[in-house]
Structure 1
Amino acid sequence: MGVGPFATDTYLAALPELQRSLHASATVAQLTLTTFIVGLAAGQFLIGPASDAYGRRRLLIACSVAFAVLSAVCGLSPDGAVLVAARLVQGVVAGGGVALGRAVVTDTHAGDRAAATFGLISSFTFLGPIIAPAAGGAILAYGTWRTVFAALTLLGMLMAVAVTLGVPETLPPARRHPAGLRALGVRMAGLLRDWGFMRHVVLQCLAGAGFFTYIGGSAFVLRSVYGISATRYTVVFATNAAAMAVFSLLFRLLVVRAGAARLRAIGITVSTAGAAGLPVVALAGPHSVPLGVPWALLCAVVGGMGFAIPAATALAQEAGRHSAGTASALQGGLTFLAGAVATPLTGVFGYDTLLPMAVTMSILYAAAFVLMCVMTDRSPRRAKTLTS
């Protein structure tokens, strides 16, 4: 489940070098990130529902092998067009792994126990943004962006071995749904009409779009506005990711007592408060406000997601338990799709100031906060706890 963040964050610092190496524009360089996120969404839509009919294990193995092959193709890409296309398909198979991972947890856990498990998995998943930039920086010190993809090829091979040896089939034939596009359409349509499920997904999409705006724009904005080096940006990014990992560990410890909905409310509130401070900092300008202030605000945004992400995942999967793979596909796919739409917005309005990224993030998180308040007001009893 952590391969998506790892495959994006490892080469974030190499985007300027990638642009120069392939003689591409900044837009094409960022498209290698955007198309991967689109692929993550598409892979969840395609492979998650298929697993409800065919089981989880063999699809997990296939996705791991394909990820290794496509990583090698990315590393050998002769130009930007080939790299963008390869990243799209690589995202598809990575997204399949993410959807299948959530479905496996839902197959084997329920209620607050499932929420605690998602919190534990999230804490390891969030280590990706900590380890990946550091690993990417070490690779770039001795190699190029192509070497980064060679390392991802090795990661894919290790995943294939680990899944083959360590993940049994969790969906026996007796619990599977009918195969075919018509049956899939019926399952998806049923979940899309179910507001008890979709309210969690919509909230997750809004917060996720704000989060992806930070992921896609922070490298360019912080380096151009504050003039920090790639190494220092890696420290900023890793520190924020560490805050998210710590919050997710706290989530695992607190969720049985406090409930997933309450912890999600805390996480969204913290993230919204951090995002709301960014436009003020942007208007003041980098000469008036030192880097430490926007860094602290971004850390609050990212840290709050350590509560919000596992909570939203658990609440949505519980609401869609009867079709766990399809529910995983919709909640993950729609969230990444929202992120893919939001990621280029900062680039459209420019990287010369912090303001475009700050305004976009604050609007998205404010919308998530308002929806959360409406949901809580209308469903006070259900918002208190997550039950099986």
Structure 2
Amino acid sequence: MKFLLDKDTWQEIYGSIRKNKVRTGITIIGVMWGIFLLVVLLGAARGVENNFNKLFGSFATNSVFVWAQQTAEPFKGFQEGRQIRLKMSDLESIKNEIKGLEFVVPRLQRQALAVNNFKTGTFGVFGDYPELDKVQKKDLVYGRFINDEDILKKRKVCIIEEEIYKQLFDKDVYPIGTYIKINNINYNVVGMYKQGQIGGGGPQGNIHIPFTTFQQVYNIGDGVGWMMITGKPEFDITQIEADVKLLLKNLHKVHPKDERAIGSFNLGKEIAKVTGFLTGMQFLTWFVGIATLIAGVFAIGNILLITVKERTKEIGIRRALGATPWEVKRQIILESVFLTSIAGALGIILGGLVLMIIDVTIGSGPEAALLNPTVNIPVILIAALTLVILGTLIGLIPAQTAVSVRPIEALREE
């Protein structure tokens, strides 16, 4: 390794680069562009993935939403246009007859006026069970979510979103233990959470109260607004969706081919589409980046072949003076690795700067398409190591060419 510290070694590399400044510069730009593309595309892919996780990360991915609508066909004496109403008994039938279920969570919703002292606002009020926090995780800031005791005792407690806190409370007021009025009924605030992108109540926010309390206050009886159904990971959520809808049609005497009576949204299927897109995007990113890198490295190999041809007489003199074939090879390989390393470092730095600019500009704000576009350090190290290996391998070609010429023939070269 002493040759790496040898001043003459680096002077020779510098002299070679200085003789062909334009050619060397263009070659370095080619390799730099390759790793720059790789870094930026990987960062952009990560930004899209981060945004996707922000949107859907709180949901159990293997989930489907089911609700009732009007029938589209007459069946068993019932006319077309009959309004279907889901019941709590439907949930028990689903739990007992459908395989592969993890959670079946009923939900209710109304709009209501909430008041705290002289501050008011109209918000979405949801009747929920504790299991909701398992299929749609709440990012709690203070307190807790609904628990089993709340359900059993029909407690008048509520959990509010952060946006509601900002509208109904003075700044720095601790909300837990305070009371707010919802449609003139006092509710004890037991929790506050950050608003999610998906499933939230829009800019106004949501309030959650126990399902049984909602039933009693709004005189719902055993009605259900809609269900969130989560399947076990090993079961196909699309099949679960079809089985649930068919069962509900049978329970409510709906024609089996009626596609309107029972509505659904398969979150698991939609998420699978997005994850498939992200996987394809990452593969394409690596393919484009590596292909561009290889093209740039081959360009370095071609430049070194030309350089070797131009320096044939010089190499012949070195061989005649006693330089071994390995010493000649080593010098050319070192030049190849040096050029690829410089180009790689510049590409990584430039790519990092571009990702920082993207993060500061279009990567911030609630509507950002790219969230925190970054590249993991191990990925950068792997890319850099790959570049060095490619530089070494491509340097072997001109190096072998350099030592394949006999010294006496090299000295005759004009």
TM range (shorter): under 0.3
Comparing both structures, which one devotes a greater share of its residues to helix?
1
Taking structure 2 as the reference length, the TM-score comes to 0.23
> Normalized against structure 1, the TM-score is what?
0.24
* Structure with higher strand content: 2
